[in-house]
Amino acid sequence: MALIGILGGMGPLATVDFMERLIALTCSAGASRDQQHLPLLVAHLPHIPDRSEALLGTGENPLPALLSGIDMLNRNEVELIVIPCNSAHHWYDAMRAKSRAPIIHIAEASVAALPPGVRRVAALATGGTFHSGLYQRILAARGFESVEPDAATQRHIDACIREVKAGEIEASTGHLAAALDWLVDQGAQAAVLGCTELPLAARPMKAPSIPMIDSTLELARATVSYGLSRGWNRAL
């Protein structure tokens, strides 16, 4: 039996949302019984130090805790690792170097899903991820132009993420809408919700004015496609 390892808990609701996407995509691919779903091992480790604070120089380095989670998953012989937290991917190379199992990169999967014809893209992420340039580098390498938030807009994005983490989804949606409005005014033709809390805030929104890429969903699509193509949903 092949296990897919999820390094999760960053944050807790985002991991649950990611698992729900995995299951819905597997149902859409034809699964109707438990035994047709993908086996997972979820290291749900919410105590990992805040990624955004570390990237802004105001918090503890999460890398030792991230590597300890990667190590736990490898000790349990997972065949693939996915991490439904964009900010954690700042440390992707260090995690990949210590992992026997391959790790799907959430930001690469998300940028690859941008619709054709789009050139100017706003990646919404934690303040730390924005500061680290993670999305800006991947967008530039793929020929996209980044539309960057100003300080007030980034405050809306960070407030939105904080509220989702506190379970206050309703309050979070208004902050996301305000950030998107400003970015569209600056010429953004598409948005990447580059933090796995943001899709939870976006779901209650009606018809957004530009296409939005859901990084949780894109990581789930890549994971299900990887697992189903290898027949991992069939019990041995």
Q: Is 169 in the site for a second copy (CB under 8 A)?
A: no
How many CB atoms sit inside 10 A of residue 196's CB?
A: 29
Nearest distance from C-beta of residue 156 to a second copy, angstroms: 18
The answer to whether 159 contacts a second copy (rule: CB under 8 A) is no
CB of 31 to a second copy, least distance (A): 8
The CB-of-141 to a second copy minimum distance in angstroms stands at 30
* C-beta separation of 219 from 106 below 8 A: yes
Report if residue 12 touches a second copy, rule: CB under 8 A: yes
Compute the half-sphere exposure of residue 38: CA atoms within 13 Å on the CB side of its CA: 33
Query: Among the candidate windows 115-123, 160-168, 180-188, 198-206, which touches a second copy by CB under 8 A?
Result: 160-168
CA 89 to chain centroid: 9
Please report whether residue 118 would count as binding a second copy according to CB under 8 A. Answer: no
The only residue of 10, 83, 106, 111 in contact with a second copy, by rule CB under 8 A:
10
Count of positions on this chain that bind a second copy (CB under 8 A): 44
Site residues for a second copy, 53-82, by CB under 8 A, read 72, 76
Omega cis (within 30) before 11:
yes
Q: Helix, strand, coil: what percent of the chain each, to 5?
A: 50, 10, 35
x-or-dash string of contact with a second copy, 15-54, rule CB under 8 A: xx--xx--xx-xx---xxxxxxxxxxxxxxxxxxxx----
In degrees to the nearest 10, what's the CA dihedral of 116, 119, 120, 125?
Answer: 50
CA dist list (Å): 222 to 63, 113, 163, 192, 226: 24, 10, 28, 16, 6
Applying CB under 8 A, which residues contact a second copy? 1, 9-13, 15-16, 19-20, 23-24, 26-27, 31-50, 72, 76, 162, 165-167, 233-236
